[in-house]
């Protein structure tokens, strides 16, 4: 099973996210990450889904999603020709003794300190999921009070995307 990133362009209507996510659940696919965003067309939204799937499962996901009335286009994003980003907000316990080393770590990873209090620090980091994972691993030696990750959002590089209609690669 490989980690697959699927981008789905859908009509921007109430209930579309529920229909798409329910379809995954009914078919027994677990969603690792799900983001929804606006596109340059206000009538269309982009749903980015990350799932663990083999080739057969991926084909089934594409075919089932293409059958939904609201689905416009579906494409699988591959690491070699796509850009993946994620946003992390993390609150770390920080006192006089730990504040400086945490700032140093934040600087190395280019994380922004967006809030500072007497006993904590909140940082924001945007980047590839692996960068977020590495940052959190380094921070794990400090007390993480809260954190929130947005999930992956992604686009293909260049001017073309591999579009699937009903499971057929065009």
Q: Provide the residue range defining the domain that includes 55.
A: 2-82+154-169
Q: Each residue of 3-13: pLDDT tens digit?
A: 999 999 999 99
- Number of domain units in the chain: 2
**What is the structure's pLDDT at 12?**
94
Burial class (CB in 10 A: 0-12, 13-18, 19+), 162: middle
In this structure, the answer to whether residues 38 and 97 fall within a common structural domain is no
The sign one gets for the Cα dihedral 135, 140, 143, 147 is positive
Q: What is the pLDDT of residue 164?
A: 46
Residues 129, 90, single domain; the answer is: yes
pLDDT (0 to 100) of residue 160? 58
Which two three-digit tokens encode residue 24? 């995954």
Which residues, 6+ apart, have CB-to-CB distance to 74 below 8 Å?
A: 6, 7, 8, 9, 62, 65, 66, 163, 164, 165
| Pairing assessment for the beta strands 82-93 and 144-149 based on DSSP bridges | antiparallel
pLDDT of residue 166: 44
My answer on whether 11 and 68 are in the same domain is yes
Tokens of residue 167, six digits: 């499971």
- Other C-beta atoms closer than 10 Å to the C-beta of 61 total 23
Residues 7 and 78 in one domain: yes
Residue 38: Cβ within 10 Å count? 10
What does each of the 170 residues of the chain score in pLDDT, given as a tens digit? 899 999 999 999 999 999 999 998 888 888 999 999 999 999 999 999 999 999 999 999 999 999 999 999 999 999 899 999 999 999 999 999 999 999 999 999 999 999 999 999 999 999 999 999 999 999 999 999 999 999 999 999 987 555 544 444 43
Q: Is the pTM of this model over 0.85?
A: no
Residues 93 and 74 in one domain: no
Q: pLDDT at position 14, please?
A: 92
């Amino acid at each position: 099973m490989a980690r697959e990133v699927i981008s789905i362009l859908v009509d921007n209507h109430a209930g579309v996210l529920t229909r798409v996510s329910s379809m995954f659940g009914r078919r027994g696919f677990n969603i690792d990450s799900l983001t929804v965003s606006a596109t340059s067309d206000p009538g269309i939204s982009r749903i980015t889904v990350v799932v663990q799937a083999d080739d057969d499962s991926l084909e089934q996901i594409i075919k089932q999603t293409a059958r939904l009335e609201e689905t416009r286009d579906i494409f699988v994003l591959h690491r070699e020709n796509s850009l993946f980003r994620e946003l992390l907000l993390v609150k770390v316990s920080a006192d006089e003794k730990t504040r400086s080393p945490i700032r140093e770590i934040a600087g190395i990873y280019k994380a922004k300190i967006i809030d500072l209090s007497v006993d904590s620090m909140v940082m924001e980091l945007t980047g590839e999921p692996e960068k977020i994972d590495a940052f959190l691993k380094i921070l794990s030696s400090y007390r993480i009070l809260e954190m929130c990750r947005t999930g992956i959002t992604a686009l293909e590089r260049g001017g073309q995307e591999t579009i699937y209609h009903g499971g057929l690669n065009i």
